Amino acid sequence: MKNVLVVFNINAGRKQAIKYKKRLLSFLLKRDLSFKIINISMINTIDKTGFDTIIAIGGDGTVSKVIPYIINTDKVLGIIPCGTANLLAAKLGIPANLKDSLNVIDSNNISTIDSIKINDNYGILRFGMGYDADIICKTPQSLKNKFGYFSYFIAGILFALRLKNKKYNLFYNNIHKKVEASCIIIANANNMYKNIVSLSKKSSLTDNLADIFILKTKNPLLFFYEFLRIIFNIKTSNSRAEYFQVSNIKISNTINTAHIDGEKAKVKGDIQISIINNSIKVFSKKHSPIKFALKEQGYIHSK
């Protein structure tokens, strides 16, 4: 780590990113590193050629905006989590505490993980349509500022009371599947709350597979029953929900509001989604090989 680009989201963490930026500045000066600090709104205007490290201060949406500039390069991603959910940080074992997250970067332990491509867009967590997108895209920022991640829980209950099914055509592994679903999620990382709640038994950032979750019911009571099954890790396909894994999948649909890594996205027509194996280098918490494997499989939860 010699030349560092710091990208911060001024609105992240109830504007706590501003405070974190000042602490990171001290961290970089003490190590005599060359660096530049910019707001996320400037990411498209900066020449990123000379930087070997990009540090994102913010949430998953901030990290997602950085991904296109480091994918399949030698640039290393550093994460200072201070967003609403911070799901990628949790998956990588990066603590929410600023001092501890800086220690992860300072340790120089680098992991290589998969990313996800949605048509011409890139992400690292998941792509969601229907109910999942409603929660992410329609939860007011004022509610997120006041309640943090709990705001999604509140919105989730409200939107579950008005689930609607839409027709989708899915194409994968020479299969054409027609479904009526209230929610479709295609995930590279399937953790929904830290590493405690996940939509897959064995979600991994290094397996070259996307975890597919299809919610078929629009009945609120049956939805809450399926949600309890997820909480208690009973994730098997049935008449209400379907689970499977693929490397590539195409979805034919009409115009839908969707999200990519928690950021609103408009999609139209065919959506081609694929996992890009070993495409992102990122600072992560160091684990023994056995512990890391167990953590990736969901048997060990990050604190």
pLDDT tens figures, 243-275: 999 999 999 876 678 999 988 888 878 999 999
Q: For the segment 144-162, what is each residue's pLDDT rounded down to a tens digit?
A: 778 777 888 888 999 999 9
Q: Which amino acid is at 189?
A: A
Tell the CATH topology of 121-277.
Tumour Suppressor Smad4 (2.60.200)
Q: How confident is the model at residue 290 (pLDDT cuts 50, 70, 90)?
A: very low
The residue ranges of every structural domain in the chain are 3-115+279-296, 121-277
Q: Which two tokens stand for residue 43?
A: 């990411």
For residue 288, what pLDDT is reported? 39
Beta bridge partners of 122: 117
The overall average pLDDT reported for the chain is 89
Which of 80, 5, 75, 13 has its CA nearest to residue 37? 5
Nearest to 92 by CA among 267, 286, 253: 286
The reply to whether 3-115+279-296 and 121-277 are identical in fold is no
CATH 3.40.50.10330 fits 3-115+279-296, yes or no: yes
pTM exceeds 0.85: yes
CB 170 within 8 Å of CB 250: yes
| Cβ count near 135 (within 10 Å) | 23
Sequence-ordered list of residues with C-beta below 8 angstroms from that of 245, at least 6 positions apart, any chain: 200, 209, 210, 211, 212
For 48, the token pair is 């990123």
Q: Which backbone phi and psi does 231 adopt, to 5 degrees?
A: -55, -40
| One-letter amino acid of 121 | N
Does pLDDT of 195 surpass 70? yes
The per-residue pLDDT for range 59-92, each reduced to its tens digit, is 898 999 999 999 999 999 999 999 888 999 999 9
273 Cβ contact partners less than 8 Å away, ≥ 6 residues apart: 116, 117, 118, 127, 186, 210, 248, 249, 250, 251
What is the torsion angle, in degrees rounded to the nearest 10, for the CA atoms of residue 118, residue 121, residue 124 and residue 129? Answer: -50
Which of the listed ranges 12-21, 226-235, 239-248, 284-293 does the model predict with the highest average pLDDT? 239-248
20's CB contacts (< 8 A; 6+ apart) are 8, 13, 57, 80, 82, 98
Q: Indicate if the alpha-carbon torsion angle 85, 231, 125, 134 is positive or negative.
A: negative
